[in-house]
Amino acid sequence: MKFNENFQQVCSTVVSYLRKFRWFVILLALALAVLSASLDVVIDAWRTDVAHAEERGPAATAANLGYRASAYFAFSGALIIAQYYGWEITYVIMAGAMIMGARLARQTT
């Protein structure tokens, strides 16, 4: 019973803050969407500029494959790791995977 009361209290607090800062949250969500789309366009343009004409198809395929593989690992891998080791270890492992991926990407450019 205690959990249910605490959950309701947290939910009502969150809703009251969202009502109070509604326009800020809307503008923040809009800015996030615009910046995210712009970053995607910039990365695609950079990949097109770096690759030669005959390499553009395989480059797009590799980028898509890398995106999907990382998304699958982040979702299913995190759930599997959390089942056996808990969420704290899972976050450390996922952060390590992100660092290794960033370093690998940095070395290949």
Domain spans, the chain: 1-50, 56-109
Helix (H, G, I), strand (E, B) or coil at 61: helix
Angle formed at CA 31 by CA 62 and CA 67, multiple of 5 degrees: 15
Cβ contact 47:59 at 8 Å: yes
Single-letter residue type at 27: L
Per-residue pLDDT of the chain (109 residues; tens, 9 = 90+): 576 778 888 888 888 888 888 898 899 999 999 999 998 899 888 888 888 989 888 888 888 898 898 888 888 999 999 999 999 999 999 999 889 888 887 776 5
Terminus-to-terminus CA distance in the chain, angstroms? 56
Taking phi over 0 as left and psi of -120 to 50 as alpha, with beta for the rest, 34 belongs to alpha
* Token pair in block for residue 32: 């996030």
